[in-house]
Amino acid sequence: MKYLFLFTLILPSLPMSAQINPDRAEEADSLEAALSPMIDMPSYSIELPNTWKINPGCLETQCTGVSPTDTIGGYDTYLESINLTVNKLSSASYTAQKYANYSASYLPKVVSQFRVLDKTKLSASSYRLTYTGVKNNLRQVWRQYYHVKNGQVYIVTFSAEQKKYRFYKDMIEPYLASFKFK
């Protein structure tokens, strides 16, 4: 009975301890951001979902974050990922749209059943290309963002199994949009 009484005294105080003081809301947001994995390089950064891991050996020119296994649709045989690749452009006149068009013409050579789902100009220096196809005997969807700055293209790629893409699409978009130049 003594423990029950103690429990009833402690229980009402638990929700209060989880509340955020409005004066410290910004601090709580930054604490949450600090807990999320981030690929943080000298020239750019991008946040990843908090359950994802950054592959060891990341370089500024090549880095990958991978999802944990999931149970969407049964046994998971594919780890969704966000990959960052930085390439030097052959010409200062290359735009993000020109690079995306080049990619769309090259990709059918390495992705069978290649099909463009979406091409969107986001700004003068950013472009998005979403496509589907089969690679390594697996039907996949890729969403790529091309960002051009200082004679380099920064390619942010999300890849997922095609059957799971619709589950990830809305959840992953804010992370893809978190890419920032420093």
Question: Could you identify the residue written with the tokens 């969107």?
Answer: 120
Q: What gap in Å lies between CA 40 and CA 179, rounded to an integer?
A: 10
CB 48 within 8 A of CB 67: no
Q: Report DSSP state, residue 131.
A: E
pLDDT score for 36 = 77
123 SS3 class: strand
CA 96 to the chain's CA centroid: 19
Q: Domains in the chain and their CATH numbers?
A: 39-181 (3.40.1000.10)
At 60-71, the pLDDT tens digits run 999 999 998 876
pLDDT score for 71 = 65
pLDDT score for 75 = 67
pLDDT score for 23 = 42
CA 26 to the chain's CA centroid: 23
| Mean pLDDT in order along the chain per 10 residues (182 residues) | 36 32 43 72 96 95 92 73 97 93 97 98 97 96 98 97 93 97 96
Cβ neighbours for 2, distance < 8 A, ≥ 6 positions apart: none
Distances from the Cα of 146 to the Cα of 18, 39, 78, 105, angstroms: 40, 17, 24, 15
pLDDT score for 92 = 86
Q: Give the angle 69-62-144 at the CA atoms, nearest 5°.
A: 70
